[in-house]
Structure 1
Amino acid sequence: MKRALVTGVSWDTGIGFAITKQLVSDGYYVYAIYHSEDSTALEILSKEFKDRVQCIQCDLTNRNSVYTLIETLKKIPI
């Protein structure tokens, strides 16, 4: 299965959300990176695409958060 990493998936009105939905419909498994705990996209993705999307919270402006994201992604089998 093809995989993709998409950032900016916090809001269901944003481009990250739209890209994630398109990639899923194109057959990808998507690692969706969101920032806000108030994410409106998270609930939708978790319900509609739970077997095709893994949502990961990360503040890309915070170095430690990015390091944690990298370590998480390293654990994904290739």
Structure 2
Amino acid sequence: MPPNIAAIYTTVQHSQNPAATSARTVLNRIGGSLGTALLVVVLQHALARGEAPAADAYAHTFWWALAIGACALIPAALYPWH
């Protein structure tokens, strides 16, 4: 079980598991959609400038994705690891 799911289930009461599961699923889907939309905007902006080849625009977008992923390590470090 991934650490974020385990942290959710260890902090809620057994009777709250269905609500916690639903909330996690909704937040996961919204976060994925927003992250994808953000990267599409970054890519579109880089392509619209037209200053560099498309490969450079994709590389620029990749670095944004890597930076966003690195930012996710901060809250992951705060998870209770018991």
- The structure with the largest strand share of the pair is 1
Q: TM-score, normalised by structure 2?
A: 0.30
Q: TM-score, normalised by structure 1?
A: 0.31
- Say which structure, 1 or 2, has more relative contact order (CA 8 Å, 6+ apart): 2
- The structure with the largest helix share of the pair is 2
